[in-house]
Structures are given as C-alpha cells and as structure tokens.
Amino acid sequence: MQKATIHLETLTCPSCVMKIENAAKAMEGIDKDSVQVMFNSSKLKFNFDDDRVKINDIVDTITKLGYEVKKSQVKAL
C-alpha cells in the first residue's frame, strides 16, 4: 500500500468535496476508508494499491473531474 497526498487548486465549494470524495472512492485500487478530502487545506489524501492503480491515473481522473492538481506526493506505507 502507498499513501498519497494530492494538492489541489483552492477548493471553494463544499459540493466539490463530495464530488472528489465520490470520484476517488469509485476508483479501483483505492482504499475507500482512507479517502479524505480536506476542504480548507485543499488536499486529497488516500491509501492505494500500487499494483492495481497508478498515481498518474488517479491524478488524471481528478483533473478530468475539473480540478487542477498542483502536486502529488506518494510515500510507501
């Protein structure tokens, strides 16, 4: 398992949080319970399985959802 922190553009609408959360939870290989969207610090944190999903695909999904990704960090758990 890997732990990822994605820095997003500044989040301003609360429904963004729900959108990003649902999108992340729907992805294969992401641990649903670990998904955390931080409204004020505009970050998305989650654990994922590197064998089943790549961080770049996750970043792509978030970008396609309409949110700019500023930086993503991955750390081994």
Where on the chain is the footprint of another protein (CB under 8 A)? 10, 12-15, 18-19, 22-23, 26, 38-41, 43, 63, 65-66, 73
Least separation in angstroms between residue 46's CB and another protein is 14
Burial degree of 33 (CB within 10 A; 0-12, 13-18, 19+): exposed
Retrieve residue 46's tokens.
Answer: 């989650």
Looking up tokens 């989040």 gives: 11
Q: With respect to another protein, which residue has the nearer C-beta, 31 or 45?
A: 45
Q: With respect to another protein, which residue has the nearer C-beta, 51 or 56?
A: 56
